Structure 1
Amino acid sequence: MRAQSRASRVVMAVGVVSALSLLAACAGGEGAPIGANADDNSTAADGSIVLEFSQWWEPELPKGSLRGMMDEFEKANPGVKVKLISAPYASTQQQTVAGAASKTLADVVGLDGAWVNDFSKQKAITNLTALMQESGYDDSELASQIKVDGNTYMIPVVNFVYPMFTNDSLLAKAGVNAPPSTRTEFVDAAKKVTASGKGNSGWVLPLAQDAPNGIQNDVMSWVWASGGSMLKDGQPDLTNSSVKSVVEFIKELNDAKAIAAGALTMKEQDKVEQFTNGRVGMMIDSLAHINLIRENAPDLKFSISAIPAEDGYTGKRGMPYASWGIGVSENSKHKKEALKLVEFLMSKDTNSKLSSVANAFPGNKESVPDFVQSDEMFKTAFDIWNKGVPANEFTGLPTAEDLMRSFDVELQKTLAENQPVDTTLNNAQKAWSAKF
């Protein structure tokens, strides 16, 4: 599974003591060395500067591809070497939290957007706006930047979009000839697939509270798809009509038993498994799972399309996404060189190459991944991406996982206990306001 599905998960702030305990616990594992500031290892024997670059990307990419890019960077920047500190996402997550708390982050650090607020407040990652201005870096080609209090702390390097997947065979057998484009069409299709029998369900919705990213990817994505928002002036706004209509929409599907059983304890990987096994008609999921589904179910006929919008909506559709982000340690001794590495990864050619091998969309507006020329489904996704607006309001929020979980708790009360929608939204609003 690609890291962007996990990348939508977030890290809660931890104290220095617990963070250091995590660091100690990971000390013997893969990617255990962390932070150029833990000891003075920032100069090679030949006098070259050594940049440490911690990330979870290398295990997700074809073998040798990221190292090859670093070799290209070193060739173009004599006197600078890059040491990759690579580990799976979960390990990198733990180590980055520990490094942020103890001020021992690597010079260049892979970031999940949901970590940025906490790390910036800890002064663990540097203000990239100021660093780019000092270095004269032109950021006009960057597709997006993640800001806190008006300053950039993370740059999305590649983006993983979350469109709607449809099992075309199940839909056709249920009398649905095309993927739905509106909520009314979606409800109709979901009910028809469920009524077709053989234990099939119209939609799969993961709402496990211990991995609550379903609130981001599978719930709020409906709000963003129709131009709505869960925020107002940067503060929680969960009682507005856009959010309410989505919760009512989900309740309608739940009451009609059109959602796959076990939603309240289901995680993202369970959702993908159910779709791959041909048991559900529709799901919202990461584009990167296309190849996984093809590999595990070569006979499954499926397609992707934009998330259906509210009836009558004609504006640009918000497209949920997750990113491999990048930042620079505040305590790095080599910020200038670190920014050069960031600039290299964001350059048109390198970003095209990286997005191609990652099956992702580029963070440089001028870059085009190779697969959009050779794979019709990826080309369709790229067209959806370009016609819509990237949307993920959880990025940059404080304790984003807690926000997802508190909303999840209340939503489950509506679905399982018939709690009134207004009560659910008012309770979630109170919980969120306390976090802000």
Structure 2
Amino acid sequence: MSKEARFRRGVTTAVAAAAALTLITGCSSGAGSDASSSGGDVTIELAQWWEPELPDGALRTLMDTFESENPGIKVKLLSGPYASTKEQLFAGAAAGTMSDVVGLDGAWVSDFAKQGALADLSTLMKDAKYDDSELASTIKVDGKTQMIPVVNFVYPLFTNDDLLAKAGVTAPPSTRTEFETAAKAVTALGDNTSGWVLPLSSEAPNGIQNDVMSWVWSSGGTMLKDGKPDVTNDDVTGAVKYIKSLNDAGVIAPGSATMKEQDKVEEFTNGRVGMMIDSLSHIDLIRKSNPDLKFSISAIPAEDGFTGERGIPYASWGVGVSASSKHPAESWKLVQFLMNEKTNSELSTLANAFPGNTKSVPDFSSSDPLFKQAFDIYSKGKPANEFVGLPVAEQLMRLFDEQLQAILQGDESVDDGLKKAQDAWVGEF
């Protein structure tokens, strides 16, 4: 089986990661309800955080194409940063005011499904007589399809070339020892520079998935045993002890306890940190914000002496339809458009991602050269994200985050903190 096929098979069992921005109004249903009562165009809202991470105007151009192919349907884009999107989405889900079509982070899907906030896409596909054989994956909760991964991203190590060179580091680190050495060298430059940035905000705890557990997966480790919590094992314990050693050495950017993902990206983009673990989706955003920044990507460092396949963290931009939308059929047409072979190829190219349609192929010739490098990194490793598919995945991240912060602050030992995290996780399962 090819690496790409293995990736898609892995994603098939995953709850992919992507998020949604919701419009909170005084209405009791989705914003599509504001369509003209006189028989005019139907307006549906697509709420997501994708637009700021794509080239300027790219998503709007795709929506213009959709509108030209579907006369009578207009699309209003609601866009915002990941964290803001998340906060508004949860509020909208509780109030029943979600937008018609929503970008989704798979870590939230279980919660939304319990609230009945998402429509069953299986029913919408059946009503539309849609053939789902080209979809790389569909995410189900209690037998109902709640989300479709649109495009999939890997999370490599980003390094500031100029800072590392100034610190005497000639190549991106490949092992934990090399990473620690590079982080200390960059921090020693002074002028408020730090070696690594680690976002641990409990409001948006996906840093536990992307920036902490990635150290476990990169060395072939696991946080589960037979599908159940196992965060006291040697894999997780070793990674947490390593992160604590970096914290004790003062190489982590200050303010990590309250940082969110966008804060991490801003610190790197502004040239204040030497290294971060991040999504390929931010490449274009970094280039737009700081065109002069020279940076590279590489595989996340593994334990010294590790020779196996390195786990490559991944996440996805997923899509769903609000259960409160007054225009489910029109909303499904937009989802179908996003997942057709042509659109999905174009979107995956624009986003520096892997497509969610099995027949779609990214155009490496027109994409950022780092995308091809990322594909090479992926080809040498295996996709890894054990949070996908877990119930209350975000709550598990938050519970682990609480203990990790206590460990880093010196309030409890690594072993005691992980034991508390293990007990908390078992309680959630």
TM-score normalised to structure 2 length: 0.80
Contact 1:10 1:115 in 2 (8 A): no
Instruction: Tell me the CA shift for residue 408 of structure 1.
Output: 1.7
Change (3 A) 1:36 1:209: closer
Tell me if structure 1 keeps the 8 A contact 2:25–2:97.
Answer: no
Report if aligned partners of 2:29, 2:96 keep a CA contact under 8 Å in 1.
no
TM superposition score normalised by structure 1: 0.79
Q: Give the stretch that moved more between structures: 282-291 or 344-353.
A: 282-291
Which residue of 15, 29, 35 maps to 2:30?
Answer: 35
User: After superposition, where does 1:30-429 map in structure 2 within 5 Å?
Assistant: 35=30, 41=35, 45=39, 50=42, 52-57=44-49, 59-60=51-52, 61=54, 65-77=58-70, 81-84=73-76, 86-89=78-81, 93=86, 96-103=89-96, 105-129=98-122, 131-132=124-125, 137-149=130-142, 151-195=144-188, 200-330=193-323, 335=328, 338-370=331-363, 373-417=366-410, 419-429=412-422
Partner of 2:4: none
Q: Assess, with a 3 A threshold, how the Cα gap between structure 1 residues 129 and 265 changes in structure 2: closer, same or farther.
A: same
Please tell me whether the aligned partners of residues 359 and 371 of structure 1 are also in contact (alpha carbons under 8 angstroms): no
How far 1:116 moved relative to its partner? Answer: 0.6
- What is the letter of the counterpart of residue 46 of structure 2? S
- 2:426 is matched with which residue? 433
Q: CA deviation at 1:41?
A: 4.8
State how far apart, in whole Å, the 1-side matches of 2:407 and 2:321 are.
43
Query: Offset at 1:258?
Result: 3.0
More off after superposition, 361-370 vs 421-430: 361-370
What secondary structure does 2:320 align onto? strand
Cα pair 1:115 1:396 within 8 Å, conserved: no
Residue 208 of structure 1 aligns to a residue whose secondary structure is coil
How far the C-alpha of 1:398 sits from its partner, in A, is 4.1
Deviations 1:241-269 (A, max 9, x none): 22112101112222333323343344434
Q: Say which SS state the counterpart of residue 253 (structure 2) adopts.
A: coil
Q: Is the 8 A contact 1:128 1:151 kept in 2?
A: yes
For residue 143 of structure 1, give the secondary structure of its aligned residue in structure 2: coil
What's the offset of the Cα at 1:42? 8.8
Do the aligned partners of 1:373 and 1:379 also contact (CA within 8 Å) in 2?
no
Contact residue 112 and residue 325 of structure 1 kept, 8 A: yes
Summarize the Cα distance change of 1:196–1:138 in structure 2 as closer, same or farther, 3 Å threshold.
same
Q: CA–CA distance in 2 between the matches of 1:58 and 1:204?
A: 23
1: CA distance between counterparts of 2:196 and 2:85? 32
Distance change (3 Å), C-alpha of 1:168 and 1:87: closer
Cα distance in 2, alignment partners of residues 199 and 65 from structure 1: 36
Q: Give the drift of 1:106.
A: 4.5
Instruction: Indicate the larger mover: 61-70 or 204-213.
Output: 61-70
In structure 2, distance between residues paired with 1:188 and 1:171: 11
Shift of 1:197: 5.3
In the TM superposition, residue 420 of structure 1 has moved relative to its aligned partner by: 2.0
Tell me, what secondary structure is at the counterpart of 1:288? helix
Decide whether the 8 Å contact of 1:175 with 1:192 is kept in 2: yes
Matched to 1:86, the amino acid is L
SS in structure 2 of the partner of residue 326 of structure 1: strand
Measure, in 1, the Cα distance between the counterparts of 2:136 and 2:51: 25
Partner residue in 1 for 2:14: none
- Paired with 2:62 and 2:28, the residues of 1 have a C-alpha distance of 21
For residues 216-261 of structure 1, the C-alpha deviation after alignment (integer angstroms, 9 at most, x for no partner) is 2210121222333323344322112221121011122223333233
Q: Which amino acid aligns with 1:238?
A: V
SS of match in other structure, 2:217: helix
* Amino acid of the structure 2 residue aligned with 1:394: F
Give the CA deviation at 1:117.
0.4
Aligned 8 A contact 2:19 2:103 in 1: no
How far is 1:119 from its partner? 1.4
2:11 match: none
Q: Return closer, same or farther for 1:263/1:10 CA change in 2, 3 Å cut-off.
A: farther
What's the CA shift for 1:410? 1.1
Distance 1:186 1:151, change over 3 A: farther
Contact 1:51–1:338 at 8 Å: present in 2 too? no
For residues 366-413 of structure 1, the C-alpha deviation after alignment (integer angstroms, 9 at most, x for no partner) is: 333446545322321233345444433334544444322221221122
Give the drift of 1:113. Answer: 1.7
Root mean square deviation, CA, Å:
3.6
User: How far off is 1:151 after superposition?
Assistant: 4.8
CA contact (8 A) 2:135 2:357 kept: yes
- Matched-pair identity in %: 63
Is the Cα–Cα contact under 8 Å of residues 54 and 92 in structure 1 kept in the other structure?
no
Amino acid at match of 1:27: T
Q: Deviations over 1:99-118 (max 9, x none)?
A: 53455544433222222101
Contact 1:156 1:325 in 2 (8 A): yes
Q: How many residues end up aligned between the 2 structures? A: 411
Deviations 1:126-185 (A, max 9, x none): 333465467554434333433334653211212343211112233334443221222232
CA distance in 2, matches of 1:99, 1:419: 37
